[in-house]
Copies of this chain bind each other. A is one copy, B any other.
């Protein structure tokens, strides 16, 4: 096991009728005026908007609002929000939504106290140390952003969908997860969230670190649990227990727990997927279900034993060689993605062979990519070809 620091201060409030606590939680931080950030109409349809604003009123907290955060959230929205915060002298941000809204909120938090260009954090030209407090009310479980300091934002004019990792200050102070508000999600969003969470686990699982027994056990437990419950949710979207399990698994998948003692994860599939969603606006989860199995196939020989273990522990593959196990495991995760209605090839998503050059160029800006196998531009192209 590698040395590690684990320090995750986010307070999670989980369960039914918990959103109404948001005002009190913000009050505990002594904040007077906050920005309420959200996406499109869902928080109006599922009642979340009303619960939040009532709670804020009861706690004597004033707010300004900004809606319209898109999936694959964009830098221009971040900049709009920052200028509102500065003008309105806002001292905290509530993100009511999923990963896109939360990532936007974190970037706003970093930008409010920074005189330079907020994109500097993504380029690695500056590091985000001091932010204003972020609170989240989660409406879709997927990215795990509710309990980590990461944000992924797209700079539209340069076709860059990049991530930054903030300091301790950028963990949300409080995240409220009420699984009931996810009852009304479209099936495709539930499925994409599940795939995103599984991919986070696998990015960390297949990074080549050895001696991670308990981390492997927890990772495998999360994946088995997600597979079980997303299948239930396709037919029973209002199944509270399955919503709860999927929600909590998605949080655990990227809150630092399973990454302790590892080399920090591989993240090639995410890098390649980000190029996909820059050009096609495909949902992140759907992009991952295309890229991840192709990446697995391309790199598995760098750690056959771990890929064989994956097949054993997730799908019960036994009594064949490790190479055969590894290959079956990859086929079976692909089959599972297909079963739950996700695309598993570029073709499935209507992306042509002609696009591969553009995707490869975009994903190769910062090569080498990955850890288990360090990918150069040719490798990246090969993986996109495999994914075709």
Interface locus among A130-138, A151-159, A243-251 = A243-251
CA A218 to CA B255, docked complex, whole Å: 15
* Contact assessment for B214 and A221 in the assembled complex, using a CB-CB cutoff below 8 Å: yes
Interfacial residues of chain A within 211-244, with CB under 8 A of chain B in the complex: 211, 213-214, 217-218, 220-222, 224-225, 228-229, 241, 244
Q: Provide the residues of chain B in CB contact with A1, threshold 8 Å.
A: 14-15, 241, 244-245, 248
Given A8-B8, A9-B9, A245 contacting B214 (CB threshold 8 A): yes
* Contact assessment for A213 and B245 in the assembled complex, using a CB-CB cutoff below 8 Å: yes
Sampled A-B contacts (11; CB under 8 Å): A3-B18, A5-B12, A6-B14, A7-B12, A14-B260, A213-B229, A217-B220, A217-B224, A217-B225, A218-B218, A221-B221
- Interface 1/0 per residue, A24-41 and B, CB below 8 Å: 000000000000000000
Q: Provide the residues of chain B in CB contact with A9, threshold 8 Å.
A: 7, 9
CA A317 to CA B4, docked complex, whole Å: 36
CA A15 to CA B6, docked complex, whole Å: 11
CA A313 to CA B261, docked complex, whole Å: 25
CA A252 to CA B257, docked complex, whole Å: 10
The chain A residues found within 8 Å of chain B, CB to CB, are 1-16, 18, 211, 213-214, 217-218, 220-222, 224-225, 228-229, 241, 244-245, 248-249, 252, 257, 260-261
Q: Provide the residues of chain B in CB contact with A12, threshold 8 Å.
A: 4-7
* Contact assessment for A4 and B15 in the assembled complex, using a CB-CB cutoff below 8 Å: yes
Q: Provide the residues of chain B in CB contact with A15, threshold 8 Å.
A: 1-4, 261
Q: Counting chain B CB atoms within 10 Å of each CB, which of A12, A18, A214, A245 scores highest?
A: A214
Q: Provide the residues of chain B in CB contact with A260, threshold 8 Å.
A: 14, 248
Q: Provide the residues of chain B in CB contact with A257, threshold 8 Å.
A: 257
Q: Provide the residues of chain B in CB contact with A245, threshold 8 Å.
A: 1, 211, 213-214
* Contact assessment for A11 and B3 in the assembled complex, using a CB-CB cutoff below 8 Å: no
Other A-B contacts than A3-B15, A211-B244, A257-B257, 16 sampled, CB-CB below 8 A, are A4-B14, A6-B11, A7-B9, A7-B11, A14-B261, A211-B245, A213-B225, A213-B228, A213-B245, A214-B252, A217-B218, A217-B224, A218-B221, A221-B221, A244-B261, A248-B261
Specify the chain B residue showing the minimal Cβ separation from A8.
B8
Q: Quote the shortest CB–CB distance from A10 to chain B (angstroms).
A: 8
